[in-house]
Amino acid sequence: MSLASLLVLADGRLPSGGHAHSGGLEAQVSAGRVRDLDAVAGFLRGKLATAGLVAAAFAAASCARPGEWASLDQGLDSRTPSPALRKASRAQGRALLRAARAMWSLPPVGRDLHQPVALGVVAHAGGLGPEEAAVAAAHGTTSGAASAAVRLLGLDPYAVHGLLARLTADCDRIAADAAARAESPVDDLPAAGAPLLDIGAELHATWEVRLFAS
Amino acid sequence: MHPENQHSVAGGALPHPSDGYVAPHSHGPDEVPHTHPDPGVDPHEPLNSGPRALRVGIGGPVGSGKTALVAALCRALGDEMRLAVVTNDIYTTEDADFLLRNGVLPADRVRAVETGCCPHTAIRDDISANLDAVEDLEAALGPLDLVLVESGGDNLTATFSKGLIDQQIFVVDVAGGDKVPRKGGPGVTTADLLVINKTDLAPMVGADLSVMDHDAKARRGDLPTVFLSLVEDRTATPVADWIRGLVAARVPAA
């Protein structure tokens, strides 16, 4: 395992399409549920405990057994009730695979994998293990939304990064759990849901003008 | 025989045969060590067969007339070549209706890309959403001759990645001040074509076109600069001619 490879994969500057997605935050800001730093902190905690948990589990499993990408992708599809979120996840998976093909030698996989499955496959190709894939997935579900919070609400960027720093222990714990069950059957992997994220994503997709793709 | 010289194919998914492809085989012990392309990986870009569309980026500050230039180019070129547009600007159904109502471009030939409040990132640092949009257009419409990629309004330092476009146009306007070419910046200095737009407004804003021309030449060396008034020239003739030249040079006339 190369720590430097993990940094390359988890770097926010990796050109994998993430900058155009708010992780559901734009819809919640517009709905008035998230207006300040405290609300962003709550949003990030909730996102990590639901979408982050599921993403970490599927990234770890896909890294442990990249040959099963198709059934893992299907498993994540069935855990994503919102069509808009399915589309956003596949768009980011596609972008990640595009970037990763220039970095490492990828096995033949579908073009539009869900982002966590793509992340696991890419991590494997980069010589990383399930726990590293999972920690990158967990961190990614919060860092993208945090960056969007700075842009959408004009919050102090230092304060927002302070929130991310305080979530690292949770990210590590989630990644360790995900790695421990990386060999579990797809149906036994976590299925935590966040109905407000699903509803927000569906509303967001109907907007005429939006700044983020999701 | 050295085990590392034995080649096998994992996964059974062979790429299509190509010049670089080496069938599974083994070597004698006296051969010079060498490597082959990984047979599980297609080394080629996933492009359509035949020459892909010329991609022209159109950037420039907010309000300089990028969307109006795109509309003029669609008017000028829409009937003579297969054309599509990707826009990174905040794009409303009103904009789409405008293009449609004016018969400029059907809605299925325009794709809007959200940039997450970072228009320069989407055209320079992380071009994946724009590449997806271009590929989606080509998949939906078939082969194209020209794809215009319009950036969101940004600043004088915003330029397109060469991974996204082949040539780029930078649009500034005289109402933004006649000192803009002198300020330079990567857009003014390095764009393949600099368009100085809204020349009809020059007398009203006290802009000296000869100063702009002189400064642009000093900044850009041999790179071309054109003056334009889309009020007077609704088909952006000098820009359309520049693009015609590029397309003709790229695709041999059938």
ipTM score of complex: 0.87
Structure-token pair, residue A188: 């036994």
CATH number of A170's domain: 1.10.4190.10
Could you tell me if A58 and A123 are in contact, meaning their C-beta atoms sit under 8 angstroms apart? no
Mean pLDDT on A178-205 = 97
| Contact yes or no for A213 and B116 at CB 8 A | yes
> What pLDDT, on a 0 to 100 scale, did the predictor assign at position B1?
42
Let me know if residue A8 belongs to a domain. Answer: no
Let me know if residue A210 belongs to a domain. Answer: no
Q: Which domain holds residue A172?
A: 19-202
- Residue A131, pLDDT above cutoff 70: yes
CATH number of B138's domain: 3.40.50.300
For residue A51, how far is the Cα from the chain centroid?
A: 7
Residue found under tokens 């983020």: A212
Could you tell me if B128 and B38 are in contact, meaning their C-beta atoms sit under 8 angstroms apart? no
Would strands B54-59 and B110-112 be described as parallel, antiparallel, or unpaired?
Answer: unpaired
Let me know if residue A43 belongs to a domain. Answer: yes
Q: CA dihedral defined by B38, B41, B42, B44, rounded to 10 degrees? A: -80
| Contact yes or no for A208 and B93 at CB 8 A | yes
> What pLDDT, on a 0 to 100 scale, did the predictor assign at position B105?
86
How many domains, in total, are found in chain B? 1
- Residue A37, pLDDT above cutoff 90: yes
Please write the tens of the pLDDT for every residue from A69-121. Answer: 999 999 999 999 999 999 999 999 999 999 999 999 999 998 899 999 999 99
Please write the tens of the pLDDT for every residue from B112-147. Answer: 888 888 888 999 999 999 999 999 999 999 999 999
Let me know if residue A1 belongs to a domain. Answer: no
| Contact yes or no for A211 and B116 at CB 8 A | yes
| Contact yes or no for B131 and A98 at CB 8 A | yes
Query: Which chain A residues are within 8 Å of B38, Cβ to Cβ?
Result: 105
Query: Which chain A residues are within 8 Å of B134, Cβ to Cβ?
Result: none
The phi, psi pair for B49, rounded to 5°, reads -70, 155
Structure-token pair, residue B126: 């992380």
> CB-CB: which of A15, A22, A148 is closest to B127?
A15
Query: Which chain B residues are within 8 Å of A213, Cβ to Cβ?
Result: 113-114, 116, 129
Closest CA to A178 of A126, A105, A123, A109: A123
Closest CA to A43 of A141, A117, A168: A141
Instruction: Please indicate whether residue B27 or residue B153 has the higher confidence score (pLDDT).
Output: B153
Task: Tell me the residue length of chain A.
Answer: 214
The phi, psi pair for A152, rounded to 5°, reads -85, -35
Could you tell me if A115 and A30 are in contact, meaning their C-beta atoms sit under 8 angstroms apart? no
Label residue B44 by pLDDT band (50, 70, 90). Answer: low
> What pLDDT, on a 0 to 100 scale, did the predictor assign at position B22?
56
Q: How many CB atoms lie within 10 A of CB B170?
A: 30
Element (DSSP H or E) covering residue A70: helix A69-78
> CB-CB: which of B114, B125, B132 is closest to A210?
B114
Let me know if residue A12 belongs to a domain. Answer: no
DSSP assigned state of B236: -
Let me know if residue A211 belongs to a domain. Answer: no
Residue type, B91: Y
Could you tell me if A119 and A104 are in contact, meaning their C-beta atoms sit under 8 angstroms apart? no
Let me know if residue B53 belongs to a domain. Answer: no
Q: Which domain holds residue B193?
A: 58-250
Alpha-carbon gap, residue B39 to B24, rounded angstroms = 9
> What pLDDT, on a 0 to 100 scale, did the predictor assign at position B10?
43
> Whole-number mean pLDDT of chain A?
96
How many domains, in total, are found in chain A? 1
Could you tell me if B18 and B44 are in contact, meaning their C-beta atoms sit under 8 angstroms apart? yes
Mean pLDDT on B31-38 = 68
Give whole-number Cα distances, B179 to B168, B174, B183, B207, B210, in Å.
21, 9, 6, 9, 11
Let me know if residue A117 belongs to a domain. Answer: yes
> What pLDDT, on a 0 to 100 scale, did the predictor assign at position B41?
66
Let me know if residue A5 belongs to a domain. Answer: no
Could you tell me if A102 and A154 are in contact, meaning their C-beta atoms sit under 8 angstroms apart? no
Let me know if residue B4 belongs to a domain. Answer: no
B12: left (phi over 0), alpha (psi -120 to 50) or beta: left
Residue type, B254: A
Please write the tens of the pLDDT for every residue from B94-120. Answer: 776 777 777 688 889 999 888 888 888
Let me know if residue B144 belongs to a domain. Answer: yes
Sheet of B167-173: strand order equals: B110-112, B83-87, B146-150, B54-59, B167-173, B193-197, B225-227
